[in-house]
Chain A
């Protein structure tokens, strides 16, 4: 049995038919992880003993009942921003090394309740700050399609783990691209749900008005299944929506004939690598073959979205990261130096030494944008422009069922290529941050390759239209089958 050939759906079938046992599946996952990790570095922590115990428990359920959850016994990995009770959670930052949460994120708990088996915690840019997983304080994850390239970020570890079959699904968070970009860069499916669709409780916070936990999977069908398990109101998250959760898998396999699809003109401007543009246009043409009516639409406020995002996000980051102060948990200079003079020194030096460069940079920008004298000109102005962006999307969705465009202006880039220029790294997010600012859902679905490196198609919908997005993504996927491609160069 080759685990890299399996999906959540096909594994569930094998488990149901007793052709495979949960312990066998989990052992295969562990073996795969052991074989690939020395090169890939998708994981920060592998929960071997716990996984084997969970597998045994899952098999007992399978043996005793006729029907069981589609996720029972299935190997999963969580991005290390998800608090997992009793399991070290670091946010891939040195400032949280050794931190063991006393509770689990609601999203993680819901997946645990389905009987999915936790294989470990995946690598990411520290605190989610980044688009390449190079900002992890514990070393980058590599792109399984070419080890000299980045897997995207910030959920790079989660994406690489699914792309290589180390696990059958994983979780990520998307604040400005961080599920969609690594999915696009690794030929996997990544969904950023509507803000409020999935509880943020227990997810280490980056930007509280933007963070969206969501699934990364091999196929759209799997994505629908995992989203169903993760989504729903949580009384512990005051921003979580009370709207009922549709039966997402039930929408798959239906036609998209007659659907009105808008192609965002501003996404096809300068900065887009021509080959990526061609692959994306081909994908859009495929949607037309499937019966969609495609038209170009202009959303002029999108040009300002990146500037808005890089004011609002660091501002919220500077607030959220204030809690890492060397007092309650995490790295503290108090443990290391006897002669720390005063409380202020504990704060300043714990944070100065514990945080990585990108975290410090973002805290500094945020503090600046929120400080007296600048608050109106930057933060308030950015929030107002954000309203303009939301209105542009609302107007667009009066006319169109869905909007489409590229995920990224470039194919995966090389490790180190953007390291010296923060602004150039931030520009990777240019087609994705408007979506986060508006709070709308969007998916990245595999749509081809440029020089052997994966490219994703971005499909966006109005608030709480995940079923519509999944239906379209599924129709496209079943026509093109890009998900069947697997990384070859690692010689697995």
Chain B
């Protein structure tokens, strides 16, 4: 049973990806197959697991809020598709 087209379109919107009609049909089928496969997890009893108690050896580390010159500002800007002086240019957000 394939995922409905509206579902695929909703996910594509969330993911900010434009899909062609053909890609959407393919996704309907492929995602459905994968999601059916995921159903097997329902068989497991995980009621005893509290994720907040999961162990880790790392603790949160902070650094001083101190200004530093990376020295690579121009190299970073060189990769930008649309650039104006020392700014990355974007379409209007609003």
Interface string of A105-134 (1 = CB under 8 A from B): 000000000000000000000000000000
Q: Which of B33, B38, B79, B93 contacts A100 (CB 8 A)?
A: B79
- A100–B78 contact, CB under 8 A? yes
Q: Which of A344, A346, A383, A423 contacts B51 (CB 8 A)?
A: A383
Contacts of B86 in A (CB 8 A): none
CB A303 to nearest CB in B, in angstroms, measures 8
Q: By CB atoms of chain A within 10 A, which of B18, B23, B35, B88 has the most?
A: B18
Contacts of A346 in B (CB 8 A): 90-91
Q: List CB contacts (< 8 Å) of B22-58 with chain A.
A: 23, 27, 30-31, 33-35, 37-38, 40-42, 44, 46, 49, 51, 54, 57-58
Stretch at the interface among A281-289, A307-315, A398-406: A307-315
Interface string of A323-362 (1 = CB under 8 A from B): 0011111101011000010111011110111010100110
How far apart are the CA atoms of A381 and B51 in the complex, in Å? 10
Stretch at the interface among A39-47, A73-81, A176-184, A384-392: A384-392
How far apart are the CA atoms of A429 and B27 in the complex, in Å? 22
- B81–A335 contact, CB under 8 A? yes
- A334–B18 contact, CB under 8 A? no
Query: Residue A244 at the B interface, CB < 8 A?
Result: no
- B51–A380 contact, CB under 8 A? yes
- Contact status of A307 and B81, CB under 8 A, knowing A361-B30, A384-B46, A388-B44: no
- B41–A329 contact, CB under 8 A? no
Q: Which of A344, A365, A387 contacts B31 (CB 8 A)?
A: A365
Query: Residue A102 at the B interface, CB < 8 A?
Result: yes
B-side interface residues, number (CB < 8 Å):
44
Q: List CB contacts (< 8 Å) of B57-94 with chain A.
A: 57-58, 60-61, 72, 75-76, 78-82, 88, 90-93
- B44–A385 contact, CB under 8 A? yes
- A371's closest neighbor in chain B, by CB? B14
Inter-chain contact count A-B, CB under 8 Å?
134
Contacts of B30 in A (CB 8 A): 361, 422
Contacts of A308 in B (CB 8 A): 41
Query: Residue B17 at the A interface, CB < 8 A?
Result: yes
Query: Residue B15 at the A interface, CB < 8 A?
Result: yes
- B12's closest neighbor in chain A, by CB? A364
- B44–A351 contact, CB under 8 A? no
How far apart are the CA atoms of A9 and B22 in the complex, in Å? 52
Contacts of A328 in B (CB 8 A): 79-80, 88
- B38–A343 contact, CB under 8 A? no
- Contact status of A360 and B17, CB under 8 A, knowing A332-B81, A378-B38, A387-B54: yes
Contacts of B41 in A (CB 8 A): 304, 307-308, 311, 381-382, 385
Query: Residue B11 at the A interface, CB < 8 A?
Result: yes
- Contact status of A327 and B90, CB under 8 A, knowing A351-B16, A371-B11: yes
- B49–A384 contact, CB under 8 A? yes
CB A462 to nearest CB in B, in angstroms, measures 13
CB B26 to nearest CB in A, in angstroms, measures 8
Q: Which of B34, B44, B75, B93 contacts A102 (CB 8 A)?
A: B75
How far apart are the CA atoms of A474 and B39 in the complex, in Å? 41
- B34–A327 contact, CB under 8 A? no
How far apart are the CA atoms of A342 and B23 in the complex, in Å? 23
Query: Residue A410 at the B interface, CB < 8 A?
Result: no
CB A151 to nearest CB in B, in angstroms, measures 25
CB A394 to nearest CB in B, in angstroms, measures 10
Q: By CB atoms of chain B within 10 A, which of A100, A326, A335, A384 has the most?
A: A384
- B76's closest neighbor in chain A, by CB? A102
CB B85 to nearest CB in A, in angstroms, measures 16
- A325–B16 contact, CB under 8 A? yes
CB A7 to nearest CB in B, in angstroms, measures 34
Q: Which of A353, A360, A378, A388 contacts B46 (CB 8 A)?
A: A388
Q: List 22 A-B contacts (CB under 8 A).
A: A99-B79, A241-B57, A310-B37, A329-B79, A329-B80, A335-B82, A342-B92, A344-B16, A349-B18, A351-B16, A351-B18, A360-B17, A360-B19, A360-B23, A361-B27, A367-B14, A367-B15, A371-B11, A380-B51, A384-B49, A384-B51, A423-B34
Residues of A within 8 A of B (CB): 99-100, 102-103, 196, 235, 238-239, 241, 301, 304, 306-308, 310-311, 318, 322, 325-330, 332, 334-335, 340, 342-344, 346-349, 351-353, 355, 357, 360-361, 363-365, 367-368, 371, 378, 380-385, 387-388, 422-423
